[in-house]
Amino acid sequence: MSQQLSDFIEMKVPAKPEYVGVVRLTVSGVANRVGYTYDDIEDIKIAVAEACTNVVNHAYDGEESEAFMTVGCGVYSDRIEMMVADRGNSFDIEALKKDLGPIDAQEPIGDMKEGGLGLFLIDTLMDRVEICGESGVIIMMTKFLQRGEVEQSDDGISAKTKQ
C-alpha cells in the first residue's frame, strides 16, 4: 500500500453496550466524509459494531474498571483502515478460523449455536480483515473506496450529504 495516511481518528471508550452506538456514528461520519456509498457505509458500521460487541461480550470477565476498547480509523485516499482493540482476554485465533463460515442450511435451526457469526460477518463485509491476539485482541478491517460511485464536491463532502 503506497497511499499515504491523511488522517487518523482514535477513540478510547468503555467496553459497554451503550458506547457501541457512539462508535458506529463516528465511523459512519468518517466514511461519509471520505465519500463511501450508503451500502459501504452500512457495511462498515455493521463490521465495526460487531467487533465492538465482541469486545463488550468476551474481552473482560467482570473487570469493569479496566474494560475499555480503542477504536482507530486511518483515512487514506483509496481506503479506510479500522482497528478495534482491547486488553482483555485473548483467544485461539487459529481454532476460531476453522469454525468460521456460513450457516449449514441442512442443520435444524434448534441445533445451531447462538452467536459466533460476528467474525464471519466482519470478514464478509470488509475487503481485508486481520486479527491479532497476543495481549488482548486487535481486529484490523479495511474497506477500499470505489471511486466514481459517489459524486464529491470541492470540500470533500459527498454531494448527497449537502442536499
Identify the residue whose cell numbers are 458506547. 19
**Taking the CB of residue 63, how many other CB atoms lie within 10 A of it?**
12
Spatial distance between the Cα atoms of 25 and 65, rounded to a whole number of angstroms: 25
Q: Residues with Cβ < 8 Å from 153, sequence gap 6 or more?
A: 159, 162
98-156 pLDDT per residue, tens: 555 555 556 555 554 445 678 889 999 999 999 988 788 999 999 999 866 555 555 65
SS3 76: coil
| Domain annotation for the chain: domains and CATH numbers | 7-149 (3.30.565.10)
Q: 7: closest CA among 81, 103, 116?
A: 81
18-31 pLDDT per residue, tens: 999 999 999 999 99
